[in-house]
Structure 1
Amino acid sequence: MAKNTFREPERIPKQKKQRRRLKLASWLNDFIGLDRLFGEDNAWPIRHIDRILWITFLLIVYIGLNHNAERLVRRIQRTKTQVDELRSQYTVLNADFMKSGKQSEITKRVAGLGLSDSQTPPHKIVVKSDEH
């Protein structure tokens, strides 16, 4: 009888993956000449230009949102100030209106017309039902 053994897999040497050349990186390298800027042997910025541009875009969006939030906070503060001013104006006008409706204030205003309060108390008029 044969003995069971594990078969050793054949070792295939791994081939290095060829990095695909990014169109954007090659275009920028051709247009701007980044290899001259960073040197022929230092290709790190050229290889990672897509990530650098993505982070730059995210930073611009972040800065824009931050400016928008600050503008919104300033607008809210300005509106709160206006609401407080209008509330105080309402309180003053409401107090003046309530004061002007009092009998003593009305008497002062109509005194110039020659009108005055009656000094005798009012009396009750009684009408009998058969007189009606």
Structure 2
Amino acid sequence: MAKNTFREPARAAKQKKQRRRIWMASWLNDFIGLDRLFGEDNAWPIRHIDRILWVTFLLVLYIGLNHNAERLVRRIQRTKNQVDELRAQATVLRANFDKSGKQSELAKRVVGLGLTDSENPPHKIVVKSDEH
């Protein structure tokens, strides 16, 4: 009968991780042919392909986020310029509206209709309370 012994958990986890790494490296090597590219005696890139891919993914993600941030900054600046232009236009329109309501401006506009300001001051009409 066989003798019972304790299994070393660290070694088993290391073997499982090593098998996963070897599986990924061998699959990539079969698919791409990295041993032809680096040579069969130089297995460093093949052994560390998972780290290389991870760093590549992080670099692509960083570049993408940087482009997105720059695009947002440009869009914000464009919107700020549009808001400034609209604010200036609103100020000009309000000033023109306020100016057009003055009595002198109204008199200039109604001259074409034949209306003029009266030369006499207005008369005050007084109504007694018993009259109406």
Report the TM-score range of the alignment, normalised by the length of the smaller protein. 0.7 to 0.9
1:108 alignment counterpart = 108
Question: CA RMSD, aligned part only?
Answer: 1.6
Output one character per residue of 1:34-72: Cα deviation in whole Å (capped at 9) or x when no partner. 122222222111110000001101111111111111111
The structure 1 segments of at least 4 consecutive aligned residues displaced by more than 3 Å after TM superposition are none
Task: Identify, as 1 or 2, the structure richer in helix.
Answer: 2
1:36 alignment partner in structure 2: 36
CA distance in 2, matches of 1:125, 1:22: 108
In structure 2, C-alpha distance between the alignment counterparts of 1:32 and 1:123, rounded to whole Å: 104
Distance in 2, matches of 1:102 and 1:119, equals: 19
In structure 2, the gaps of 5 or more residues are 1-10
Larger radius of gyration: 1
Distance in 1 of aligned mates of 2:108 and 2:31? 89
Give the TM-score of the pair, scaled to structure 2.
0.81
Tell me, which stretches of 5 or more residues in structure 1 are unaligned? 1-14
Corresponding residue for residue 61 of structure 1: 61
C-alpha separation between the residues in 2 aligned to 1:68 and 1:32? 32
Tell me the SS of whatever aligns to 2:65. helix
Q: Give TM-score scaled by structure 1 length.
A: 0.81
Q: Secondary structure at the match of 1:22?
A: helix
Distance 2:68 2:118 in 1: 67
Amino acid at match of 2:51: R
